[in-house]
Structure 1
Amino acid sequence: MQAKETLFADLVQGKAQQFQVPLYQRTYSWTEKQLRQLWSDILEQAELIERGEKANTHFLGSVVLAPSPQNDVTFARWLVVDGQQRLTTLSLALAAIRDHIRDASPRDAERIDEQYLINKWQTGSDHLRLLPTQADRPQFAAHVRGPLTEQAAGSGVGAAYSFFRRKLVEAADPAAPQDVFRIEQAITSRLTLVAVTADRGDNVHRIFESLNNTGRQLSQADLLRNYLFMKLPTRGEDIYETYWLPLQGSLSNEELEQLMWLQLVLDGDDRVRRQDLYAAQQHRFERGKATEEDIEGYIRELHRSAALFRRLLHPEEEPDTSVRAHLHRMNVWQAQVTYPALMLLLDRRERGALDSSDTARAMSYIESFLVRRMICRVPPNSLSRIFQAVPGQLPLDVPVADGLHQLLSADNRFWPSDDELRDKIRKAPFYQFGRPQQRKMVLRRLEESYEHPEPVDFAAAQLTIEHVMPQSPGDDWLRMLSEDVADGERAEDLHARLQHTLGNLTLTAVNSELSNHPFERKQGLLQGSHLEMNRRIAATERWGAKEILARADELADRAVALWPAPLRGVGRAERSRDWHLAHQVLAALPHGTWTSYGDLAAFLGSGAQAVGNHLAGTPGVANAHRVLTSEGRVSEGFRWPSEDEGGDVRSRLTTDGVRFTVAGSADPVQRLTADDLALLVAEDDDRTEGQVPAQRPPGGSQGEETRADRFFRQLAADDSPETVEAVRALFAHWEKLGGWIGHGAGQVTTSAFLMLGEAGAPGRGIWPMTLYPGGGRGGTAEVVFQYMAAREPFTDRALRTELLTRLNELEGVDIPEGKLDLRPNVRLSVLEQEHNRERLAGTLTWFRDRWEERGTA
């Protein structure tokens, strides 16, 4: 047996060879959770390459190989006993890079193919450098060889390839562009593997067990603590009692590790990674030949800094009112990426370099930087790098607050100007970007800017974000919108464009029965609100496009005053960022789906004509042919961007899994709306706006309407008695299975969750669907594939696919596979049919059984 450290490039390139995954191995099973972690590691290595750093590579894991029985002298074949998930994933990532650059750099695309993916002169299955199990082989071969003619149901291979295609488009973001060839280099020459090569007769399974039999590792903080006190042979006990024990008592181990990392950053090391904390600090001590006095000084400084760090974690410990308010908002925003800058400000204040007033002013620049970028939809992926660099890059020749203002205003920081902020408040779908608590904080700050003499107690108020013009408009709303439409636009298009913009959003704690009713019925309720912004809405005679845009302009004036602008004279690339977002979401379109010019325009905050012009004039946009008219037809003005890519568009759409009706239109069931598009590029799953129940809901007190009562009252308002009784029976069946019904805390939109476990316990709570009353259009059941994908055992795409197949057995239900990562709706009225009720009951029993088996599989 031989074991050596190697790189992916050294392992797979060179002479013709093949790595064969044995048939008894499990199929490809990496989920998006593992893919996201790997992508983060790849980007980190690409950044280190850009800086010219050669020392820090990333250890990916082991690969155990054994000679294949089919091995021969001229063509080496290896069995992959362990490591097939890593090899398959890296191969798919390189296939995605090849396809990403194919149009712009065909020679490099061919080079990637021949170096890492194929054996050029071999035929048949030998053509592939990696040969997965039989179950994964057709999909893997199609992605390596192309073109993909059919996407297998539940294909993890296809999902991984699509993930990398999407991330490569995202990496081209002008706010933080990453060179694709550095990404390739990171994959092939910066991810290290331990390759264990067995001889014939070696017990490769025993080797596999030894490599994977690892215990709990010490944290970076544990390692550094042990090192520090080994360096204190004479003074350790006193220092431990005086400084370390109080330090350890005031912070958790994870918080202490973060403080140690921040200490390195504050000392000007803007390149240190948290996982390299121990090695970096040890190197500094060894290089400086640290004495016991030096070690003691370092621990004393940690002890001093801990009091400042606690103010970031617990803003109530900050004595100054203004600074405390800024720290509290940063806490609500979950802005841990800003900690290097915030710690620097608190440290400089404590050392006398600035007072509390200047500290608050500097923090206002940080808050504005975050808020303006969020409103203007600047991706947050570069924030960590920006703020980690602050201590080392802060100008020394100007006051601290002014220096921070100058630093954040630099060209490559993308701090939006007043003009861009105003434009995005008018046009951009604010509700679809950022996290729920961030959106709510923006609205709260805007409300506070009115300086009402009797301000709302936001800590006690149960406020949620409400769409004044509802997300599901009735006929009255559409008739009013039709008065404002421009030429060639429908009321539905205008609604899609404006519904999520800031001008149409407010904070309320009103009763939910008015959620979708005409504006006249909302006015009285809003007039009685304690919020000034709601009283202003209620004073308006109607609520159409003109009124929404007028309110957007009013809020923009307040936003400009609240959040300071960057320094002038900074060049920007706003429009290119908008189109980058379009490219990103089109690259993420699942197999078997399409969208319209209007849907894409509503998602971007743009116009349908502008979208069409851009796609027609921009070569290399992935899936541009899958943008159709609202009727599901190819636009008359559509042209392939290059001659090489020509061909019949409908045939290409069919290859992509898009179905066509008898009338020749793309199947409307497969269409992705603007809301669906927003879900495709969202990075987290906390978009339920506080509706997921954290625990079993308590019953109401005597005379008080419970959430369950309110849900059924709303359901009965516009669904038949048969549907209402079918839902009651569904809930009874679910409780008989051991589940429980949780109801969302939303005061406007009520909901019901079919829960298993406890929602508040990470990794334990799960729910297959959420039920909503219709608000005028009939109740729906939202199948939450998106959330299931992060919860065992439904991280397995094949299980989610089976759930989709079972649901589609219900008469009147047709969920396309392309929505397997979204949250498609099913009408509750289908439960009026007895055979549908029976099939759904069986499907929920199957779901429960799979969840209960998760720990024994």
Structure 2
Amino acid sequence: MQAKETLLADLVQGRAQQFQVPLYQRTYSWTEKHLKQLWSDILEQAELLETGGKASTHFLGSLVLAPSPQNEATFPRWLVVDGQQRLTTLALALAAIRDHIAGTQPEEAERIDEEYLINKRKSGHDHLRLLPTQADRPPFAAHIRGAVTDQAAGGGVAAAYGFFRRKLVEADDPAAPQDVFRLEQAITSRLTLVAVTAERGDNVHRIFESLNNTGLKLSQADLLRNYLFMRLPTRGEHIYETYWLPLQNSLSNDELEQLMWLQLVLDGDDRVRRQDLYTAQQQRFEHGEVGEPEIEAYIRELHRHGTLFRRLLHPEEEPDASVRAHLHRLDAWQAQVTYPALMLLLDRRERGELDSPATARAMSYIESFLVRRMICRVPTNNLNRIFQAMPGQLPLDVPVDQGLHQLLSADNRFWPDDDELREKARTAPFYQYGRWNQRRMVLERLEESHEHPEPVDFAAAQLTIEHVMPQSPGDEWLEMLREDAADSESTEDLHARLQHTLGNLTLTAVNSELSNHPFERKQGLLQGSHLEMNRRIAATERWGATEILARADELAERAIGLWPAPLRGVGRAERSRDWHLAHQVLAALPHGTWTSYGDLAAFLGSGAQAVGTHLANTPQVANAYRVLTSDGKVSDGFRWAPQDTGGDIRARLAADGIRFTISGAADPAQRLTSDDLALLIAGADEDQTDGEDTTQDTATAGQGEETRADRFIRQLTADDSPETVEAVRTLLARWEALGGWIGYGAGHVTTSAFLVLGEAGGPGHGIWPLTLYPGSGRGGTAEVVFQHLAAREPFTDRALRAELLRRLNELEGVDIPEGKLELRPSFRLSLLEKDHNRKLLTETLTWFRDRWESGRTS
């Protein structure tokens, strides 16, 4: 048996060979959580290559190989006893890079294919350099060979390939562009593996067990602490009691590790990673003459910084009111990414280099930078780099607050100016970007700008974000919109374009009478609100497109007054950045789905005609031909962009799994709306719903008050037939009989009911397959939360989610396409009036409960 460190390039490059995954191995099972971590590691290594950094390569894990029984002297074959998930993932990442550049650099795409993915002169299974286990072979081979069929479109292999295609489009972000060949080099030459190669007769399974029998690992903070006190032979006890023990008692181990990392960053090390903290600090101490006095000075400085760091974690400990207010807001924003800049400001203030007003002013620039970027939908993927580099880049010839203003205003920082803020307030779907707490904080600050003599206690008010013009408008709303729609835009497209914009959103704690009723019935309730923004809405005679845009203009001016602008004279790239978002979401379209020009325009905050023009003139936009008219037809003006392959567009659509109706239109069930598009690229930390609306609370109301359960049934009764209401009551009772519980949402305009398994106390504590919503004028719906399930065991296994989809599609009237398996599709609650459908759904929920329980015990 031999063990050695190797790289993917050394392992697979240069000769014909094959790595075979035995049939007894489990199928490919990496989820998006694993893929995101790997992608983060790849980006870090690519950045190190770009800067010439000397930091160590990233250790990816072990690989246990044994000679295959089919081994030949001229064509070596190896059994992959351990490590098949890593090898499969890296191969799919390289295939995605190959296909990403195939249209513009075909020779480089062919090179990647021949060096890493295929054995050029072999055929059949031998053509593949990696041969997965039998169940994974068809989809893996299809993605390596580049001809994806319906059979290969689903499953974990397809999901991983799609993830990397999407991330490669995202990596073209003009704010932080990545060289695709540097990403290739990071994958093949910066991710290290320990390859254990067994001889015939070795017990490879015993090797596997030994490698995976891991114990509790020491943290970076533990390692560094041990190192420091080993170097304090005479003063260790005094320093421990005076500085270290109080520091350790005031911070958790994770917080202490973060503080140690921040101290390195404040010292100008803008590339250090937290996982390299121990090595980086050790190297600093190993250079030059470092004795006990220097070690003591480091720990004393760490202790001083610990007091400052606690103010970021607990803003109430900050003595200055203005600085404290900024820290509270940044804490509510969950802006941990800004910690290097905030620590820099607090440190400079303590050193006497700036006073509290200047500190607050500098923090206002940081807050504005985050808020304006969120309102204008600037991607957040380069924020770590921006703030980590700040201590080393701060100008020395100007005051600290002015220097920070200059840094954030620099080219490629994309801090939106006033004109862009005004435009995005009118057009961008504010409700679909950022985290729910960030959206609510923006609206709270806008309300505070009215300087009401009796300020609202937002912490106690339990306000939620509500749409004034509802998301599911009734006939009265549609008639009002029809008056405002231009000749070239349908009423539905106008609604989709405006519903999520800032001008149509407000905060409210009023009860459910608001619902989706006509505007006239909302005015009285809004007039009685304590919030000035609601009284102003109530004072408006109607609420159509003109009024929504006018309110957006007013809120934009308030936002400009609240959040300072960047300095003038820096380069901007708004248009290219906006279209980059379009490219990113089109690259993420699942197999078997399409979208319309109006849907894509509403998602972007653009116009449908502009979308069509851009797609027609921009080559190499993935899936551009899957953008159709709202009725599912190829646009009369469609043409292939320059340099695109072209061909019969209907044949291309059919190959991508698009079904056609008898009239020749694309199947409307496979259409993705603007809301679906937003879900496609929502990060794990970007909750697309107002967080208060999904809070679970089964507590009973006080005497005479309406419970959430009562509110849900009342709203359902107001819109659906008695038969549907009774069917829903039966469903809820059956779910409780299965051992589940019902959580009712806190929304006042429209509530919801969650069918939950697991610990009570909120959605984050359990798992739920369905969310039920009253109809609000359109009939109640059951939302199937595939996106939620994809992050919760055991349904991280895509095959289980696909089985749930299959079972639900057995209900008469339910036809959810597989392309929506990562989204939140829905069906009408009225379908449950049929006994057969209720029986099938109960069986499906029983199956769901059994799978969840077996996953907990396995």
**Same fold by TM-score, threshold 0.5 exceeded?**
yes
Which residue does 2:257 correspond to in 1?
257
Within a 5 Å distance, the mapping from 1:553-568 to structure 2 comes to: 553-568=553-568
CA contact (8 A) 2:68 2:79 kept: yes
Distance 1:643 1:629, change over 3 A: same
Indicate the residue corresponding to 2:213 in structure 1: 213
Q: Which residue does 2:823 correspond to in 1?
A: 822
Structure 1, residues 148-167: CA drift from partner, whole Å, max 9, x if none? Answer: 12244741100100000000
Measured at CA, do residues 762 and 696 of structure 1 come closer, stay the same or move farther in structure 2, by a change above 3 Å? closer
- 1:246-294 deviation per Cα after TM superposition (whole angstroms, max 9, x unaligned): 1111111100111111011111111111111111111111113321111
Residue 79 (structure 2) aligns with: 79
1:437 matched to which residue of 2? 437
Correspondence for 1:716: 717
SS, match of residue 672 in structure 2: coil
SS in 2 for 1:781: strand
**Identity, % of aligned positions:** 82
Change in CA separation of 1:519 and 1:736 when aligned onto 2, cut-off 3 Å: same
In the alignment, is the contact (CA less than 8 A) between 1:694 and 1:758 conserved in 2? Answer: no
Q: Is the 8 A contact 1:690 1:746 kept in 2?
A: no
Q: Deviations over 1:427-469 (max 9, x none)?
A: 1111111100000111111111111111111111010111111
Q: 1:216 is matched by which residue type in structure 2?
A: L
728-737 or 153-162: bigger deviation: 153-162
Q: Write the distance in 2 (CA, Å) between the matches of 1:303 and 1:486.
A: 64
CA distance change for structure 1 residues 26 and 248 in 2, over 3 Å: closer, same or farther? same
Give the secondary structure class of the aligned counterpart of 1:659: coil
1: CA distance between counterparts of 2:237 and 2:455? 53
* Equivalent in the alignment of 1:415: 415
The reply to whether residue 839 of structure 1 matches residue 840 of structure 2 is yes
Shift of 1:412: 1.3
Question: Which digits, 9 at most, give the CA deviation of each residue in 1:300-342, with x for residues without a partner?
Answer: 1111111111110000111111000000000000000100000
Asked if structure 1 preserves the Cα contact closer than 8 Å seen for 2:516 and 2:749, the reply is no
CA distance in 2, matches of 1:610, 1:320: 49
Q: How does 1:151-170 map to 2 (within 5 A)?
A: 151-152=151-152, 154-170=154-170
Indicate the residue corresponding to 1:799 in structure 2: 800
For 1:402 and 1:643, the matched residues in 2 are separated by: 47
Cα distance change on mapping 1:587 and 1:345 into 2, 3 Å: same
The answer (yes or no) to whether the contact 1:151–1:657 under 8 Å persists in 2 is no
Offset of residue 641 of structure 1: 2.5
- For 1:641 and 1:695, the matched residues in 2 are separated by 49
Deviates more, 1:309-318 or 1:50-59: 50-59
Q: Name the counterpart of 1:19.
A: 19
Does the 8 A contact of 2:774 with 2:781 survive in 1? yes
Deviates more, 1:470-479 or 1:683-692: 683-692
1:582 paired with 2:574, answer no
Aligned length: 857
Please state whether the residue corresponding to 2:647 is helix, strand or coil: coil
CA distance in 2, matches of 1:763, 1:599: 30
Distance 2:83 2:197 in 1: 12
- AA aligned opposite 2:819: G
Residue 646 of structure 1, CA deviation = 2.2
Which deviates the most, 680-689 or 591-600? 680-689
Return the alpha-carbon distance in structure 1 between the equivalents of residues 677 and 762 of structure 2: 29
The whole-number CA distance in structure 2 between the counterparts of 1:547 and 1:690 is 27
1:232–1:295: 8 Å Cα contact kept in structure 2?
yes
Separation in structure 1 between the aligned mates of residue 672 and residue 153 of structure 2, nearest angstrom: 19
Would you say the 8 A contact 1:693–1:759 is kept in 2?
no
Distance in 2 separating the partners of 1:49 and 1:338: 25
Q: 1:439 to 1:695 in 2, by over 3 A?
A: closer
In the TM superposition, residue 515 of structure 1 has moved relative to its aligned partner by 2.0
- What is the DSSP-based 3-state SS (H/G/I as helix, E as strand, rest coil) of the residue aligned with 1:570? coil
2-structure distance, mates of 1:277, 1:119: 41
Distance 1:762 1:673 in 2: 25
Please give the alpha-carbon distance, in whole angstroms, between the structure 2 residues aligned to 1:453 and 1:64. Answer: 70
Q: C-alpha distance in 2, partners of 1:456/1:720? A: 40
Does the 8 Å CA contact 1:723/1:831 hold for their aligned counterparts?
Answer: yes
Once the two structures are superposed, what CA deviation does each residue of 1:551-584 show, in whole Å capped at 9, x if it has no partner?
Answer: 1111111111111111100110000011000000
Amino acid of the structure 2 residue aligned with 1:222? D
Show the 5 A alignment for 1:581-600: 581-600=581-600
Distance 1:763 1:630 in 2: 36
1:634-783 correspondence runs (5 A): 634-642=634-642, 645-684=645-684, 686-691=687-692, 697-758=698-759, 760=761, 765-783=766-784
8 Å contact from structure 2 (residues 516, 776) kept in 1: yes
TM (norm. structure 2) is 0.99
State which drifts further: 468-477 or 755-764.
Answer: 755-764
Cα distance, 1:855 vs structure 2: 2.8
Which SS does the other structure have where 2:466 is aligned? strand
Pairing 1:790–2:795 present: no
Q: What is the distance in 1 between the residues matched to 2:359 and 2:692? A: 37
Deviation at 1:296, TM superposition (A): 1.1
CA contact (8 A) 1:592 1:817 kept: yes
* Residue 312 of structure 1 pairs with residue 312 of structure 2: yes
State the SS of the aligned residue for 2:747.
Answer: coil
Aligned partner letter, 1:799: L
Matches within 5 A, 1:111-126: 111-126=111-126
Would the aligned equivalents of 1:259 and 1:309 in 2 still touch at CA under 8 Å? yes
1:805, 1:118 → 2: CA distance? Answer: 35
Aligned residues: CA RMSD: 1.2
Per-residue deviation, 1:179: 1.0
Q: SS of the counterpart of 2:362?
A: helix
Q: Deviations over 1:43-77 (max 9, x none)?
A: 11111110012442100001111111111111111
Structure 1 position 748, deviation (Å): 2.1
Cα contact 1:59–1:192 (8 A) shared by 2: yes
- Deviation of the 1:690 alpha carbon: 2.3
SS at match of 2:496: helix
Q: Secondary structure at the match of 1:451?
A: coil
Distance 1:762 1:261 in 2: 33
| Deviation of the 1:794 alpha carbon | 0.2
CA contact (8 A) 1:153 1:798 kept: no
User: Does the 8 Å contact 1:368/1:563 carry over to 2?
Assistant: yes
Separation in 2, partners of 1:221, 1:525: 55
Distance 2:694 2:465 in 1: 17
Q: Deviations over 1:136-159 (max 9, x none)?
A: 101111101021122447411001
Say whether the 8 Å CA contact 2:19–2:129 is kept in structure 1.
yes
Mapping of 1:320-335 within 5 angstroms? 320-335=320-335
**In 2, Cα distance between the equivalents of 1:222 and 1:692?**
41
Amino acid at match of 1:560: I
Task: State the one-letter code of the partner of 1:394.
Answer: L
Instruction: Between 685-694 and 578-587, report the one with greater CA deviation.
Output: 685-694
| Secondary structure of the corresponding residue to residue 812 of structure 1 | coil
Deviation at 1:651, TM superposition (A): 1.1
SS at match of 1:30: coil
Partner of 1:141: 141
Report Cα offsets for 1:201-230 as digits up to 9, x if no partner. Answer: 111111111111111100000111111111
Tell me, what secondary structure is at the counterpart of 2:134?
A: coil
Equivalent in the alignment of 1:391: 391
Q: What are structure 1's unaligned runs of at least 5 residues?
A: none
Shift of 1:530: 0.7
Q: CA deviation at 1:424?
A: 0.6
Aligned to 2:855: 854
CA offset at residue 763 of structure 1? 7.4
Which amino acid in the other structure matches residue 747 of structure 1?
H
Partner of 2:365: 365
Taking structure 1 as reference, are residues 780 and 591 closer, same or farther at Cα in structure 2, changes over 3 Å only?
A: same
Deviates more, 1:286-295 or 1:415-424: 286-295
Secondary structure of the corresponding residue to residue 513 of structure 1: coil
Task: State the match for 2:42 in structure 1.
Answer: 42
- Distance across 2 between alignment mates of 1:603 and 1:383: 23
- Corresponding letter in the other structure for 1:663: S
1:346-361 correspondence to structure 2 within 5 Å: 346-361=346-361
